Copies of this chain bind each other. A is one copy, B any other.
Amino acid sequence: MQKQKSNSENSREMSIAVVLISGGLDSCVTAAIADQTNDLAFLHVRYSQRTEKREQQSFRDICRFYKPKHRLEIQMKYFSNIGGSALTDKSIEVPEKIQGKTPQTYVPFRNGNILSAAASWAETIGAEKIYIGAVEEDSSGYPDCTEEFLRKFETAVNAGTKPETKIKIVAPLLHYNKGEIVKKGIALGAPLHLTWSCYQNERIACGKCDSCRLRLKGFDLATERDTISYA
């Protein structure tokens, strides 16, 4: 099953959009939205997270589906040196329930780092937009997934790049709940079966971590079936 290329996608007048593809559900639906009106440039960042390899596989599978015009995989190994998160420091357990205001799976300012790399690439290839699948409403409560952060970061990007560079940060799912995200993805034919959400495992999703629970809740709310396997 592969996306059918429409005529408009081959038009030279479409602007390029960098789309951050983690390999998860939200970024895949974001790609489906970006694909409607842009030439795609898919960026995947490995940051020494527990399920790095599995997410990379999903990224590659999603690339095979969407066939983006540009693609780039990069590594930010330094997150394992910095630590401070259950995702990048194996001595901190992945919790099954969110505790406290900021969960232990928050990776310190991760999206600032990823968006900065995206801005560098966008400026170089002439992309005018960066799409990110950040979700504020129905999410884990990460501070770097909020509208306030993204708006301020966009302002900083435009101040810190060439005068002629204009970059817009687009987060189409910011105010969606998980059910709406699943519905939107299915409506747009996004390959949700290729995505990976589990924070803990790389073969069979645990079904218990915060990310699995949010994903399952999304399919539940949308009354759709999640076709990946759970433990």
Contact = CB atoms under 8 A, between A and B. Distances in A.
A132 B83 CA distance: 22
Copies of this chain, whole number: 2
A115 B156 CA distance: 12
Contacts of A144: 160-161
A78 B74 contact: yes
Interface of A: 72, 74-79, 81-84, 101-102, 106-113, 115-117, 119-121, 123-124, 143-144, 146, 148-149, 152-153, 155-157, 159-163
Contact of A109 (B101, B109, B143, B161): B161
A66 to B, nearest CB: 20
Contacts of A121: 82, 108
A84 B161 CA distance: 12
A122 to B, nearest CB: 8
Contact of A149 (B112, B115, B159): B159
A175 B102 CA distance: 38
A144 to B, nearest CB: 4
A112 B120 contact: yes
A83 B161 contact: no
- In the A-B complex, the 6 residue pairs with the smallest Cβ-Cβ separation, listed nearest first, are A84-B124, A74-B78, A149-B160, A144-B160, A152-B156, A112-B116
9 contacts: A74-B77, A78-B117, A82-B120, A101-B163, A109-B116, A109-B120, A110-B120, A112-B157, A143-B161
Contacts of A119: 108-109, 112
Given A108-B120, A153-B159, 14 more contacts: A74-B77, A74-B78, A83-B124, A101-B162, A106-B162, A108-B119, A109-B120, A111-B160, A143-B163, A144-B161, A153-B156, A153-B160, A155-B155, A156-B156
